[in-house]
């Protein structure tokens, strides 16, 4: 017997979020440590799965290229810290949060594409990828 399942893009993101949320490292950080989430549509699905709070999405990749979300006055967190299960605004505090993270904490940043060496790449909407771009090298090196 053969069976085929077809998922929409939002259903695929929800499936990815459920799989990440079920990881032992994520479950432990959720209850005992910190999880830092950097906005994106898939990461927003994860945020909703973990604490019920969606993230603000700054832009999207469309058939015509990258576009702004169009929000005149953005609402909600683009980066969210979940400390022992409690969500906190992360925007404007990423360097402070990254410096306080330890080996049992988790940082999740969505990827827009894969580079020629197989690494995940984040789309840069601002010089040096803005605030998230400033902490990614710190997170990776630690």
pLDDT score recorded for residue 57: 80
pTM equals: 0.81
Q: Which residues of the chain fall below pLDDT 50?
A: none
Distance (Å, rounded) from C-alpha 67 to C-alpha 49? 26
pLDDT score recorded for residue 131: 66
pLDDT score recorded for residue 28: 98
- Non-local (6+) Cβ contacts of 123 within 8 A are 59, 61, 66, 112, 113
pLDDT score recorded for residue 54: 92
Angle CA(125)–CA(129)–CA(133) in degrees, nearest 5?
155
Q: What is the pLDDT of residues 80-113, one digit of tens each?
A: 999 999 999 999 898 899 989 999 999 998 776 7
pLDDT score recorded for residue 110: 79
Largest interatomic CA distance in the chain:
54
């Amino acid at each position: 017997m053969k069976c085929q399942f077809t998922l929409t893009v939002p259903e695929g993101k929800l499936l990815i979020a459920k799989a990440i949320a079920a990881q032992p490292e994520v479950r432990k950080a959720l209850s005992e440590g910190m999880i830092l989430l950097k906005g994106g549509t898939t990461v927003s699905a994860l945020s909703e799965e973990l604490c019920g709070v969606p993230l603000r999405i700054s832009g999207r990749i469309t058939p015509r290229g990258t576009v702004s979300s169009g929000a005149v006055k953005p609402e909600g967190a683009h980066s969210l810290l979940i400390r022992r299960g409690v969500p906190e605004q992360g925007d404007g505090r990423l360097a402070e949060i990254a410096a306080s993270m330890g080996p049992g904490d988790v940082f999740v940043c969505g990827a827009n594409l894969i580079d020629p060496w197989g690494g995940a790449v984040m789309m840069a909407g601002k010089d040096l990828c803005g605030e998230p771009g400033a902490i990614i090298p710190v997170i990776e090196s630690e």
